[in-house]
Chain A
Amino acid sequence: MAFEIPRIPLAEWCDIALDWATAHFSGVTRALSAVVGTGIEATTDFLVDLPPWLVIIAFGLAAWRLTTIRIALFTVVGFAFLWNLELWRATMQSLVLVLVSTLFALAIGIPIGIGAAVSKRFWRVVAPALDMMQTMPSFVYLIPAIPFFGLGAVSACFATIVFAMPPTIRLTALGIMQTPPELVEAADAFGSSRWQKLFKVQLPLAIPTIMAGINQTIMLALSMVVIAAMIGAGGLGGEVWKAIQRLEAGQGFQAGIAIVVLAVILDRITQHIARHMRRDKA
Chain B
Amino acid sequence: MTLNRPRIKVSGLTKIFADKADAALSLLKAGQSRAEIQKATGAVVGLQDVSFDIAEGEILVVMGLSGSGKSTCLRCINRLIEPTAGSVFVDDVDVTKLSERELMEFRRTRFGMVFQQFALFPHRTIVKNVEYGLEIQGVPAAARHERAMTALETVGLKGWDQHYPSQLSGGMQQRAGLARALALDPDVLLMDEAFSALDPLIRRDMQQELVALQKRLKKTIVFVSHDLDEAIALGGRIVLMKDGRVVQQGTAADFLANPADDYVRRFVEHIDVLGVVTAGDAMRAPAAVKPWHATAAEALASLTQSGEPVMTVVCQDGRFQGTVDADTLKAAGDTELRLLLSDTQACVPTSATLNETVAKLATGRGEIAVIDADRSLRGVIANADLVATLARRHSQPVH
Question: In the complex, which residues of chain A have a beta carbon less than 8 angstroms from the beta carbon of B121?
Answer: 183, 186, 201, 204-205
Question: Across the interface, do A185 and B166 meet the contact criterion of CB distance under 8 Å?
Answer: no
Question: Across the interface, do B165 and A280 meet the contact criterion of CB distance under 8 Å?
Answer: yes
Question: In the complex, which residues of chain B have a beta carbon less than 8 angstroms from the beta carbon of A189?
Answer: 78, 80, 107, 111, 113, 190
Tell which of B39-47, B130-138, B289-297 binds the partner.
Answer: B130-138
B108 contact from A182, A183, A186, A191, Cβ within 8 A: A191
**B103-119: which have CB < 8 Å to A?**
103-109, 111, 113, 115, 117, 119
B136 contact from A196, A204, A207, A278, Cβ within 8 A: A196
Q: Is residue A70 contacting chain B, with contact meaning CB distance below 8 A?
A: no
Question: Across the interface, do A191 and B166 meet the contact criterion of CB distance under 8 Å?
Answer: no
**B233-247: which have CB < 8 Å to A?**
none
Q: Is residue B123 contacting chain A, with contact meaning CB distance below 8 A?
A: yes
**A175-208: which have CB < 8 Å to B?**
182-183, 185-193, 196, 200-201, 204-205, 207
User: Distance (Å) between the CB of A124 and the closest chain B CB?
Assistant: 19
A278 to B165, CA, bound (A): 13
Question: Across the interface, do B123 and A191 meet the contact criterion of CB distance under 8 Å?
Answer: no
A183 to B129, CA, bound (A): 11
Question: Across the interface, do B119 and A205 meet the contact criterion of CB distance under 8 Å?
Answer: no
Using known A-B contacts A200-B135, A201-B121, A280-B166, determine if residue A193 contacts B104 with beta carbons closer than 8 Å: yes
Question: Across the interface, do A191 and B117 meet the contact criterion of CB distance under 8 Å?
Answer: no
User: Distance (Å) between the CB of B110 and the closest chain A CB?
Assistant: 9
0/1 interface trace, chain A 37-51, chain B, CB 8 Å (1 if under): 000000000000000
Question: Across the interface, do A205 and B117 meet the contact criterion of CB distance under 8 Å?
Answer: no
Cβ-closest chain A residue relative to B107: A191
Question: In the complex, which residues of chain A have a beta carbon less than 8 angstroms from the beta carbon of B165?
Answer: 280
Cβ-closest chain B residue relative to A183: B119
User: Distance (Å) between the CB of B23 and the closest chain A CB?
Assistant: 25
A190 to B115, CA, bound (A): 12
**Complex A-B: 11 CB contacts under 8 Å:** A182-B115, A185-B80, A188-B80, A189-B190, A190-B184, A191-B104, A191-B137, A192-B104, A192-B136, A193-B104, A200-B136
Instruction: Give me the interface of B with A, judged by CB distance under 8 Å.
Output: 78, 80, 103-109, 111, 113, 115, 117, 119-123, 132-133, 135-137, 164-166, 180, 184, 190
Instruction: Give me the interface of A with B, judged by CB distance under 8 Å.
Output: 182-183, 185-193, 196, 200-201, 204-205, 207, 278-280
Q: A186-B121, A191-B107 given; name 9 further pairs at CB < 8 Å.
A: A188-B107, A189-B80, A190-B107, A191-B106, A192-B104, A205-B121, A205-B122, A278-B123, A280-B165
